[in-house]
Amino acid sequence: MAEQPVKWANSAPAGLGALAVACFCFYAYLGGHVEPTSIPLLGLWLLGGALVQYTVCILEYKEGALVGGNVFHIFAAFFMMVSGLELIFKYLVTAFGWLPLDHTIDGFAWIALWIFIWTMTLGYLKSPFLLFVLVLCIDIGVPIVALHDLGIFGHAQLQIASFAFLTAGILGLYIAAAIVMNNEFKRTILPMPGALVKMA
């Protein structure tokens, strides 16, 4: 008798939880709510998020989720891992007085991430509405960070990015809770509006 295939659970709530941690931390950091001495700690939190999101991306690929798998993959590698390592490295450079770094290169990297997330956004038109709004919030924050790193925007504009990321984090926590609770109780506990674009 053939064995029944094992059904994997939905890993998206973990990925959204990790995203929320990063977004809340970015809100605090970009908004000036924490001291510069918190930078290496922020880096460590982002590295933890990278581990979660990389795991989620593999499971999303396994489920055939083209948009989700690729977005979680890029987020794990660059938004989480590279950002986390770079923040720790920049802090050490400052603390030990090593050669100054040209941070402009970060702006060019963020431009690529900006374009990537904007092009992926259209794919989320088929996702639940709140997830689409979450991505739109990130669409606002990422360009501001890119233009700041290029020296085009100042610190004042980072306030806008900080609130965009905070909103994304709050939405991520709500969506994660809705996915888990609605599935566990087999009924709507937390409402999740449908997609803007419905496929026939």
At residue 198, the pLDDT reads 80
Query: Which is nearest to 176 in space by CA: 139, 143, 128?
Result: 128
Predicted pLDDT at 103: 87
pLDDT at position 174 is 98
Question: Per-residue pLDDT averaged across 59-81, rounded?
Answer: 96
**71-130, pLDDT tens digit by residue?**
999 999 999 999 999 999 999 999 999 988 998 999 999 999 999 999 999 999 999 999
Mean pLDDT calculated for residue range 25-52:
97
Rounded-to-integer distance, Cα 3 and Cα 160, Å: 53
DSSP reduced 3-state for 59: helix
Cα angle value 143/39/47 (rounded, 5°): 80
- Residues sharing a CB contact under 8 Å with residue 177, sequence separation 6 or more, in sequence order: 13, 190
164-186 exposure pattern, b = at least 16 Cβ within 10 A, e = fewer = bbbbbbbbbbbbbebbbeeeeee
Region 8-35 average pLDDT: 96
Dihedral of alpha carbons 17, 72, 35, 93, sign = positive
Q: Look at residue 200 and tell me whether its pLDDT is greater than 80.
A: no
Percent pLDDT > 90 in the chain is 90
Global pTM reads 0.92
